[in-house]
Amino acid sequence: MEAARAIWTDERMDDLNHKVDKLDAEMRSEFRAVRSEMKSEFQAVHSRLDEMQRTMVTMTVSLAGTMVVGFASILATQL
């Protein structure tokens, strides 16, 4: 039985070749789907980071403005 399985006929080679081609197509399809999913997820994260950056800039400018007004009012009361 082992000797019979060790002989690779053209039909068996063709079968194996078709199986490998099928697996290759499935793998490419899966990778394409994963890439698409990752791209959309990264875009969502990027957009969220942009929102956070805008919020941080707004808060920094507001805090700096508040500090300037506070120091100006302290200076005004001392003069």
Domain residue extents for the chain = 2-78
| pLDDT grade for 10, boundaries at 50, 70 and 90 | confident
Residue ranges of alpha helices (H) inside 1-79 are: 2-6, 10-78
pLDDT of residue 5: 62
Residue 16, CB-side half-sphere exposure with 13 Å CA sphere: 6
- Indicate the residue type of 8: W
Residue with the bigger pLDDT between 25 and 2: it is 25
Give me the pLDDT at residue 59, please: 98
25 φ, ψ to 5°? Answer: -65, -40
